[in-house]
Amino acid sequence: MRLPLVEWLVSQYSDTSLENVRIIACQHILETTHAMFRALYTLGLKPQNVSLIGKCYSTNTEVLEEMRADGLDVSEFSTSYQSHTSFDKQYDRYVRKFIESRVNTDALRTYERVILLDDGGLLIPHAMKACLGLENVIGIEQTSSGYMRLQSLFLPFSVINVARSDAKRLLETPAIAKKLMESLAEKLGHAAIEESKFLLLGGGVIGQAIHSCLKERAESKIFDIDPNRSHLLSTNFHRSLRDYNVIIGCTGSMSLPVTSHSRLRKGTTLISASSSDREFDAVHLRRHLPPTSNCWEDAKWKGLTLVNGGFPINFSGHRQSVSASAIQLTRALLAGAIIQASRDEIAGGQFIALDSGIQHMALGAYQVKAA
């Protein structure tokens, strides 16, 4: 696979050298991730200087082996999964072990720049302790949930904030919503969508985007703790749960704890549209079933169906989670952030905006291509 937008953006910075750059990353092990790193090889990035840890639910094993064959260092924990433990807890442990095995302070001092590329705000906190005293470290965070997590920490180095970049927020969300709808149709069937009553938990950008897709085909309501974004009153929320047979979690946090599961009607389908398995307190449902190492297996218990084991429905073990043409803007922004991280002076611990020039170039080229 090649990503023309990423390759074009990288070519605009041919005067940048990544030859003495070390990248330690938490990233989805997908074909588009591999293509992004391959594009950066043209600036001198060495595959052996890149270490990655993926997440079981977004790791494609074929791509993992292709990355390793290419010389990339991919953690053995990228496919690890224990169904009777919450993923956040087990993944925190995997990331800590990953950092302990890859971060050697003396070795990192030999690089011109050490870039911590994070997806979810777990990698950077663990790496902070290991990188104390180093002056060549800079971070990148690509998700809003990771940004919120890092906000509460004292950062010893700067972090480039891709998550809140205008380009990412404007165009990534519709692509994800489209893929979520495709996955929903594949799982439920088109007829079932039209016959179902949907409740979306969370009225943020993803929840609103899915609601826009659904409302022309089926009954769809949003519940959000912010009354300005909610169709339901908080006082009626629990009583209203039985009115819906498909509930989609879009909050990025626990939207329906296990204590609320008894309020659901028999036959309810629970679907995550965020990250990890936290939306529905999924581990409590999975513990009623035999242990499994298959994180994409539906969990069924007492009339409830937890689709994809509670993990986001757009990840299913395939080589891509969103089409390459749609997601390449995000990959271009990440490649641009890596270039920025290798070039900019490192300020003290603070969030740095993704360079506006990189955003404008990537967004402009993407829109031209889309037109």
Q: Is the pLDDT assigned to residue 218 strictly greater than 60? A: yes
**Is the Cβ–Cβ distance between 290 and 283 less than 8 Å?**
no
* Residue 198: partners with Cβ closer than 8 Å, 6 or more residues away: 214, 218, 219, 220, 221, 244, 246, 247, 248
Q: Is the pLDDT of residue 170 over 80?
A: no
Which residue in the block uniquely carries the two structure tokens 């890596």? 338
CATH code of the domain occupying 4-168+319-370? 3.40.50.1480
DSSP string, 220-242: EEEE-SSGGG-SS-GGGHHHHGG
pLDDT value at residue 370? 58
Predicted confidence at residue 334, as pLDDT, reads 97
The whole-number pLDDT of residue 258 equals 95
Confidence of residue 129 (pLDDT cuts 50, 70, 90): confident
Residues 6 or more apart whose Cβ sits within 8 Å of residue 48: 71, 72, 73
Q: What is the pLDDT of residues 33-63, one digit of tens each?
A: 999 999 999 999 999 999 999 999 999 999 9
pLDDT at residue 167, rounded to an integer: 83
Q: What percent of the chain has pLDDT over 70?
A: 99
Helix (H, G, I), strand (E, B) or coil at 269: strand
pLDDT surpasses 90 at 366: no
- Helices 324-343 and 166-188, axial angle in degrees (round to 10): 150
316-345 pLDDT, tens digit each: 999 998 888 888 999 999 999 999 999 987
Contact 277, 253 (CB under 8 A): no
- In whole numbers, what is the pLDDT of the chain averaged over residues? 93
Spatial CB neighbours of 343, under 8 Å, sequence gap ≥ 6: 13, 16
Residue 371 has pLDDT above 70, yes or no: no
* Same fold across 4-168+319-370 and 173-310: yes
Q: Does residue 173 carry a pLDDT above 80?
A: no
DSSP per-residue letters across 75-121? -GGGG---TTS-HHHHHHHHHHHHHHHH--HHHHTTSSEEEEEESSS
Predicted local distance difference test score (pLDDT) of residue 369: 64
SS3 of 126-186: HHHHHCCCCCCEEEEECCHHHHHHHHCCCCCCCEEECCCCHHHHHHHHHHHHHHHHHHHHH
Q: Residue for token digits 């498909």?
A: 246
Query: In this predicted model, what pLDDT tens digit does every residue of 266-312 receive, in sequence order?
Result: 999 999 999 899 999 999 999 999 999 999 999 999 999 999 999 99
> Mean pLDDT throughout 125-135?
89
Q: Which CATH class is domain 173-310?
A: alpha beta
pLDDT digits (tens, 9 = 90+) for 350-359: 899 999 999 9
Question: So where are the chain's domains?
Answer: 4-168+319-370, 173-310
3-state secondary structure of 330: helix
